[in-house]
Amino acid sequence: MRRPGPLPAREQEQAGDPPGLAPIHDEPRRRAPLMPFRRREVGADPAVQPAPRAEDGADADEADASQRGAGWAVVWRAARARRRALRSEIRRFTARSRRRRTIWIVSLSALVLLVLGSVGAAYSPLFAVQRIAVVGTETLDDGAVQQALSSQLGRPLPLVDHSEVKAALVGFPLIETYALEARPPHDLVVRIVERTPIGVVRSDAGFTVVDAAGVALSTSEEQPEGQPVIEAKGGLAAPAFAAVGQVLRAMPADVHGLVAKARATTQDDVTLVLHDGTEVMWGSADDSANKAIALLAAPDGHAFYDVSSPGAIIVR
């Protein structure tokens, strides 16, 4: 792109300029000089402070120093208040912790002392056995049982020797089970469950009274009154004897007193013979209670009763 040059003479004449003279360009305007800055006086507004003048330099330094001193005083007072609050909180927390720890220590100490005192007293002569009571005997002699356990007298209740008690009570065949009960401070109670005799087994030694488990309770030359003779194939350990034992033990006392003999070859053919010679076909030991009720409700005068099915009794 070409730059515009000076106008030709004809064009200059037409423009009104004398020929041969260069065009006159206007000079740039000059800016007015800046007015000196006039400091604005600050009124009563406390938030805006006038800058210190040169002649007031000493007063301004003193004001700055006083302001700095006041600021440090405020900071120092705030820090001291914070330290005091922190120390107070620490003292309060530590006091509460000490109080809680003291409560725990006192409680545990009291519990330990109580346990140690109880254990010490229990194993001391303060809780020694002075009396032995026997409960639950019907056939056994209480005095004999107490005499057998006399070795436990004078011992603290927790130190009663159970093995010695068991060895002493084994000598009483009538005892089926027993339990020891300590009654502080000086009583030892022996609760006994006696074996229930169901009949006798005839042998060369005589008549041996047995219970449902086949345990021999006593032996005599004559048949004890009220005890039926048991005849079971296979002996006391056979299923036939177990069935007879369950039948005799399950029946009521009034029916048991009518039985003179009980025999069985298997566990399902138990037969009873009453004192008047009447035979009762009992069957198995199942439902013996209802069979006894049916036998008592059956009409008299018959020589044979079949109660193996209690809902349908057969008489002959």
Q: Average pLDDT for residues 75-104, to the nearest whole number?
A: 80
Tokens representing residue 50 in the block: 């006038």
Residues 160, 153: Cα–Cα separation, whole Å:
9
| CATH fold for domain 126-194 | Ubiquitin-like (UB roll) (3.10.20)
Tokens representing residue 84 in the block: 């005091």
Question: Which amino acid appears at position 27 of this protein?
Answer: E
Tokens representing residue 93 in the block: 């927390």
Annotated domain spans of the chain: 78-122, 126-194, 197-315
pLDDT in tens, 149-200: 999 999 988 889 999 999 999 989 889 999 999 998 889 999 999 998 999 9
Sequence-separated contacts (24+) of 50-59 with Cβ below 8 Å: none
Instruction: Determine the 3-state secondary structure of 163 from DSSP.
Output: helix
For domain 197-315, the CATH class is: alpha beta
Given a cut of 60, whether residue 22 has pLDDT beyond it is no
Q: Do domains 126-194 and 197-315 have the same CATH topology?
A: no
Among 234, 293, 306, which residue's Cα sits nearest to residue 263?
A: 234
pLDDT of residue 88: 79
Mean pLDDT (the chain) is 80
Residues 190, 134: Cα–Cα separation, whole Å:
5
Q: Average pLDDT for residues 123-129, to the nearest whole number?
A: 81
pLDDT tier at 244 (50, 70, 90 boundaries)? Answer: very high
pLDDT tier at 20 (50, 70, 90 boundaries)? Answer: very low
Given a cut of 50, whether residue 139 has pLDDT beyond it is yes
